[in-house]
Amino acid sequence: MKILTAAALAALVTVGAGQVHAAEGEAMPKYDWSFSGVFGRFDRAAMQRGLQVYREVCSACHGLKYVAFRNLEVLGYSEDEIKEMATEYSIGDGPNDEGDMFERPGRPSDYFPSPFPNDKAAAAANNGAAPPDLSLMAKARPGGPDYIRNLLLGYEDPPAGFEALEGLNYNLYFPGHQIAMAAPLSDGAVEFADGTEASTEQMATDLANFLMWTAEPNLERRHSLGVSVVLFLLVFTGILYAAKRKVWSDLH
Amino acid sequence: MSGLKTNNPVIRWIEYRLPIFSFIDHAVGSGYPTPRNLNYWWNFGSLAGLALVIMILTGIMLAMQYTAHVAFAFDSVERIMRDVNSGWLIRYIHMNGGSFFFIVVYIHLFRGLYYGSYKAPRELLWILGVVILLLMMATAFMGYVLPWGQMSFWGATVITNLFSAIPLIGESIVTWLWGGFAVANPTLNRFYALHYLLPFVIVGAVVLHIWALHRFGSNNPLGIEANGPQDKIPFHPYYTAKDAFGVGVFLLFFAAVVFFAPNFFGEPDNYIPANPLSTPAHIVPEWYFLPYYATLRAIPDKLLGVIAMFGSILILFVLPWIDRSPVRSAKFRPIYKQFFWIFLADCILLGYIGAKPPEGMFLIIGRIATAYYFLHFVIVFVLSYVERPRPLPSSIGEAVLKGGGAPAPAAAREKA
Ligand code: HEM
């Protein structure tokens, strides 16, 4: 009885946890990310390509407001490269000594500027749906990086009889299957600096790598610290167990 | 004052003026005699204390960086995650610490249910435990609002709105709770003030809880009173060593989640900044509230639902008087034991249903499980009269040292 109930409970809990976290709609194909798992680390080359696609395609509509240019050092860029990249952006600043607001070239300490001044303007320019900031996207949707990759690859012809509303696009993985964003990627949309072929799939995968980093920039530190902490605790707990056995030995 | 034996002159000097060392020795030292047969389910009390300390320490560190304003709260938490040194670690410990606190406390509570720890003379000890649970729930609910994500905002809206079910004054109460006509900046501010305050109220309740515990000492797996020295061992070094090992195991599980799955218990929606104009598809509370959420939604009438939800916890206050069986431990109560496991399964089932939309099969199962939750207490009441307990061993020492208890029917009916 006891064992049966325990087994039933365990099953329920597992199923429950899975279901709470599962996305609605389409089953979500999973990709084997370099950053998943206990020893997982980011793929620098993929992140650099992802950044490039973001800068050349997505940044027209999506902000990345929690990421500063200085943060990009982790991706393997030098200080000069980052300075250079920052100056390509124009940043609103002020007021100056005359009391006027002004635009100036970006600095490494600046954050990626958002393409629209506010959500209303963003919605007005995009069929009424504001493109969300992408900084936290990889943590803000069930499935995270898998969802981003699938979403970008999920533009298909709608099944027979499916009428997408005016201005909306059919997407297999978007909840409700109608998304205001038109397919943003097409083969060869960018020319990768490292010579990798820019297939849609390649770009979607690289973007998901990059956006996982923007959402969880401390992932590598977390993993490596975690391994040390768990190893320490294993040894320490073993010693505590031995101590407990020793202390109790005169009782049994 | 006890015979605290020490030759250290500093300790003796202090002890003479402030007998704090003998106080500690009585609380968790060699001066606290403890039943010799406590099993590992008795580790969860000290673990709950540890969780509380972890929450307060990490909470104070977060508070140094957090901004309680609707326009800055979400950004300030992201700053903690990105720019504050080790801020991500502090926040992930606090975020998951809440879940582990509840895991530990729920196990602690069901341990009490199984071994009848709520029975005389430990009724007040039990009641203080339920008070702590209620305070924890209030604290965790308000803490979850602080990062001001979508679930923070909508969870706060749904739960505070429950009070509008109270006839006549409900609407005014909700306005009063909000400090306005919607969940907004005044709400966030007061939740922050209370979230900072309540953990220290919990500390106070824990002190009383432990004070009451020390009056009669721990219950034990046999549920019979410990008599005489052969039944008891000093807390230190025996249980300090055993609790320390428990802490190690607890920290292993905790670290595994904090470092390798820190968002396991979380909702992705809470990484979207709060937006009063866009309601999430499913508003779900944190996992530890799911059984109550299921109870709330199982009942079609809002007021009755709210009453049932609060009632499901409040009924624990009177459990010592519902269960009239003089035998504490389920070990000697063959029928109660079965119903204990069914009750536990029912609570977990309610948690599962709480995560589901209240429709179709889920609603029906939710209703049955809710009804059974309350029925359980009727069953417990009836069982105290009809169940025939197995004979109790005459002493802990006998049961532990010889293995298995010789029947001693007189002890079974003796009211402790
Ligand atoms: C009983 C102990 C406590 C419990 C159960 C608790 C629970 C929580 C929870 C569930 C959150 C939301 C975490 C998230 O999703 O981000 C939170 C946030 C927070 N708590 Fe606590 N807490 C406790 C004690 C404290 C104390 C003592 C303080 C301050 C002195 C504190 C300060 C904060 C702050 C500043 C936040 C917002 C930052 C954040 O969301 O990460 N907490 N708490």
How far apart CA B306 and CA B162 sit, in angstroms, is: 7
Write down the pLDDT at residue A164. 82
Cα–Cα distances (Å) from B304 to B137, B214, B220, B309, B311, in that order, read 20, 39, 38, 8, 10
Alpha helices in B217-260 (DSSP H): 235-260
**A209 vs A212: CA distance, rounded Å:** 5
The residues near A17 (Cβ < 8 Å, ≥ 6 apart) are: none
Does B414 score more than 80 pLDDT?
A: no
> CB of A227 within 8 A of CB of A38?
yes
Q: Which two tokens stand for residue B237?
A: 């070094």
pLDDT of B125 strictly over 50: yes
Question: Beta-strand (E) ranges in B267-396?
Answer: none
Task: Specify whether the CB–CB gap between A223 and B260 falls below 8 A.
Answer: yes
The reply to whether A106 falls in a domain is: no
The domain of A159 spans 7-67+111-217
Q: Specify the pLDDT at position B407.
A: 40
Indicate yes or no: CB of B255 within 8 angstroms of CB of A243: no
Residue pLDDT, tens place only, A191-224: 999 999 999 999 999 999 999 999 999 999 999 9
Domain shared by A212 and A236, yes or no: no
For residue A167, the surrounding DSSP H or E stretch is none
In this prediction, residue A141 has a pLDDT band, given cuts at 50, 70 and 90, of very high
pLDDT at B402: 62
B89 touches chain A (CB under 8 A): yes
Do A172 and A207 lie in one domain? The reply is yes
Interval A54-70 mean pLDDT: 97
CB contacts of A19 in chain B (<8 Å) are 355-356
Q: What residues have CB less than 8 Å from A76, skipping those under 6 apart?
A: A44, A48
Interface of A with B in 161-180 (CB under 8 A): 175
Say yes or no: A198 and A225 in one domain.
no
* Whether pLDDT at B233 is above 90: yes
CATH label of the domain that carries residue B236: 1.20.810.10
User: Is A226–B259 a contact, with Cβ atoms under 8 angstroms apart?
Assistant: yes
B31 is a domain residue? no
Q: How many domains does chain B have?
A: 2
Domain assignment of residue B365, given as a range: 288-324+334-388
Q: Is there a single domain that holds both residue A239 and residue A141?
A: no
Confirm or reject contact between B241 and chain A (CB < 8 A).
Answer: yes
End-to-end Cα spacing for chain A = 30
Domain assignment present for residue B393? The answer is: no
Tell me which DSSP letter residue B393 carries: P
**Contacts across the A-B interface (CB distance below 8 Å):** 109
**Are A209 and A231 found together in one domain?**
no
Of the two residues A19 and B66, the one the predictor is more confident about is B66
Is residue A34 within 8 A of residue B371, CB to CB? The reply is no
Q: Which pTM does this prediction carry? A: 0.92
Q: Is the CB of B142 under 6 A from ligand 1?
A: no
Is the pLDDT assigned to residue A9 strictly greater than 50? no
As a dihedral over the C-alpha atoms of residue B51, residue B52, residue B53, residue B59, rounded to 10 degrees, the angle is: 100
Same domain, B70 and B219: yes
**A62: its two tokens:** 């999506």
d(CA A186, CA A177): 20
pLDDT of A102 strictly over 90: yes
Q: What is the mean pLDDT of residues B144-171?
A: 96
- Are residues A138 and A197 part of one domain? yes
The answer to whether residues B117 and B247 belong to one domain is: yes
The answer to whether the CB of B104 is under 6 A from ligand 1 is no
Tell me the pLDDT tens digit for each residue of B252-290.
999 999 999 999 999 999 999 999 999 999 999 999 999
Could you tell me if residue A2 is inside a domain? Answer: no
Q: How large is the average pLDDT for residues B299-304? A: 95
pLDDT at A252: 65
Determine the pLDDT at residue B227: 84
Across the range A19-42, mean pLDDT stands at 78
Q: What is the DSSP letter of B7?
A: -
Note whether B182 and B271 are same-domain residues. Answer: yes
Same domain, A32 and A132: yes
Residue A16: pLDDT band (50, 70, 90) is very low
Question: What number is the average pLDDT over the span B349-371?
Answer: 96
Q: How far is A33 from chain B (nearest CA, A)?
A: 15
Say if A79 falls within a structural domain. no
pLDDT (average), residues B162-172 = 94
pLDDT bin (cut points 50, 70, 90) of residue A186 is very high
Confidence band (pLDDT; 50, 70, 90) for A27? confident
Contact B392, B224 (CB under 8 A): yes
Inform me whether the C-beta atom of residue A121 falls under 8 Å from chain B C-beta atoms: no
Residue B7: both structure tokens together: 């030759």
Q: Which value does ipTM take for this structure?
A: 0.90
Q: Determine, yes or no, domain membership for A102.
A: no
Which strand (E) or helix (H) includes residue B268?
none
CA distance A207 to B94: 30
Mean pLDDT of B92-101: 98
Q: How many domains does chain A have?
A: 2
Tokens 């003030």, residue located: B193
Q: What residues contact B212, with CB distance under 8 A and at least 6 apart? A: B122, B124, B125, B128
For residues A22 and A48, membership in a common domain is answered with yes
> For residue A8, is pLDDT > 70?
no
The beta-carbon neighbor of A66 closest among B78, B268, B356 is B78
The answer to the question of residue A72 being in a domain is: no
> B87 phi and psi, to 5 degrees?
-60, -40
The angle formed by the CA atoms of residues A132, B90 and A33, to the nearest 5 degrees, is 50
Ligand 1, atom 41: closest residue by C-alpha: B91
Q: Which residue has the higher pLDDT, A70 or B414?
A: A70
CB A20 within 8 A of CB A176: no
Among candidate residues A194, A155, A159, the one with its CA nearest the CA of residue A174: A155
Residue A172 has pLDDT above 70, yes or no: yes
Residue A81 lies in a domain: no
Residues of B labelled catalytic: 214, 218, 242-243, 286
